[in-house]
Amino acid sequence: MDLVQRVADELDVDEGKAADGLGAVFLAIRMALDARTFGLVADAFPDVGEWMVGAPLSAHWTGEILTIAKPKALRRLLLHAGFTDEEVERLYRIVGCAVRDAAGAEIHDKILETLPTLAC
């Protein structure tokens, strides 16, 4: 099962909303990592570019894109996009575990330095 379908099933949302949520989280991960390390994440998730292009970024806060790698800003963006608090927490756990499993614990640990909410 691909990650979009997994998120859609576990959060009981449609695949479009699941992909949007993944896009926002992976955009935050991209901003939290150097390019080489994020390249390893992108290798593990071939659709990550598509997800990030569809990320809900119109939260109407000036400079929000610059702070999306911060947990509070990411949560605010996801809530603004229509996710509930519970869905956000579950999305974080799903993505965190998926990254750890696909890209490795070392990369997951690097992400946790900036985004501790993605712990599994």
Distances (CA, A) of 11 to 22, 37, 98, 101, 116: 12, 28, 15, 20, 21
- Check residues 61 and 90 and name the one with the higher pLDDT: 90
- Annotated domain spans of the chain: 3-118
pLDDT at position 71 is 84
List pLDDT tens digits, range 31-73. Answer: 889 999 999 999 999 999 999 887 776 544 444 454 566 788 8
Lowest mean pLDDT among 41-45, 68-72, 76-80, 94-98: 68-72
Architecture of domain 3-118: Orthogonal Bundle (1.10)
Give the residue-averaged pLDDT of 18-40.
Answer: 93
